[in-house]
Amino acid sequence: MTAQPTLSSHGAEIPIAGFGTSPLTGDVTPENVATALRVGYRHLDTGRKYGTERATGEGMRASGLPRKDIFLTTKVSHENLRAADFARSVDESLKALNVDYIDLLLVHWPSLTIPLAETMQALAKAKREGLARHIGVANFRISLIDEAIELCPEPLVCLQAEYHPYLDQTKLLAAARKHKLAFVAYCPLGRGKLIDDPVLNEIGKARGRTFAQIALRWLIQQDIVAPIPRSADAKHMAESLDVF
């Protein structure tokens, strides 16, 4: 298998095409995850709040791939951003996934009530203890990104946020690039709204591609990491990889 392109940020090499395990698109099973790895995915995206960490870990082991060949992202939810709760959440993630470390640990959403300084110290501590190789944030607005970077003793490598052709994230993308953060786009297919888009389908028809391949390629050409929504269909998984 040809090595997947990666996006570099502060020492992290993040595979551009990821496999998302959010339960919004249906239950995630170990077989879904194992199939994704077998067809070529090397970046798995889960989260404590998703309830899919156990299935993700089981799928990783069922795939037969060495742990070092898989880039694994998980997230700490907004209600667990106090230092003690944060540490407990990371431990629970490691146990559910049955791994010794996480490649990329994210703050899933910011909290309006918990001081950001406390959260950033807890995030940095997870990295310093070797529980996470890299750290980042998700769903942070521009001013909070600036604040988080200032408060965090360890470098942030990633901003994850929703991005697709129906959602203009020009300003947020510029803010991420200013800090040399990798931008990871979730819901890259617009929560299913892109399926009937006439422009994407017209472009796809002209090039012998699906609407999903066009939408993913649009992101990738902007140097954006794009974890695809969960799929149980190996053919669809492979199609979403065939965008390079």
User: Is residue 178 a contact partner of residue 9, using CB atoms and an 8 Å limit?
Assistant: no
pLDDT at 217: 94
| CA separation for the pair 122, 205 (Å, rounded) | 49
* pTM, 2 dp: 0.95
CB neighbours of residue 169 within 10 Å:
18
Q: Is the pLDDT of residue 111 over 90?
A: yes
User: Is residue 107 a contact partner of residue 75, using CB atoms and an 8 Å limit?
Assistant: yes
Active site positions, annotated:
50
Tens digits of per-residue pLDDT, 5-15?
A: 999 999 999 99
pLDDT-wise least confident of 102-111, 138-147, 228-237: 228-237
**HEC readout, the chain:** CCCCCEEEECCEEEECEEEECCHHHCCCCHHHHHHHHHHCCCEEECCHHHCCHHHHHHHHHHHCCCHHHCEEEEEECHHHCCHHHHHHHHHHHHHHHCCCCEEEEEECCCCCCCCHHHHHHHHHHHHHCCCEEEEEEECCCHHHHHHHHHHCCCCEEEEEEECECCECCHHHHHHHHHCCCEEEEECCCHHHHHHHCHHHHHHHHHHCCCHHHHHHHHHHCCCCEEEECCCCCHHHHHHHHCCC
Tell me which residue has tokens 């095409």: 17
% of the chain at pLDDT higher than 70: 98
How sure is the predictor about 236, in pLDDT bands with cuts at 50, 70 and 90? confident
Tens digits of per-residue pLDDT, 48-72?
A: 999 999 999 999 999 999 999 999 9
Residues in contact with 211: Cβ distance below 8 Å, sequence separation at least 6, in sequence order: 194, 195, 197, 200, 201, 204
Tens digits of per-residue pLDDT, 37-54?
A: 999 999 999 999 999 999
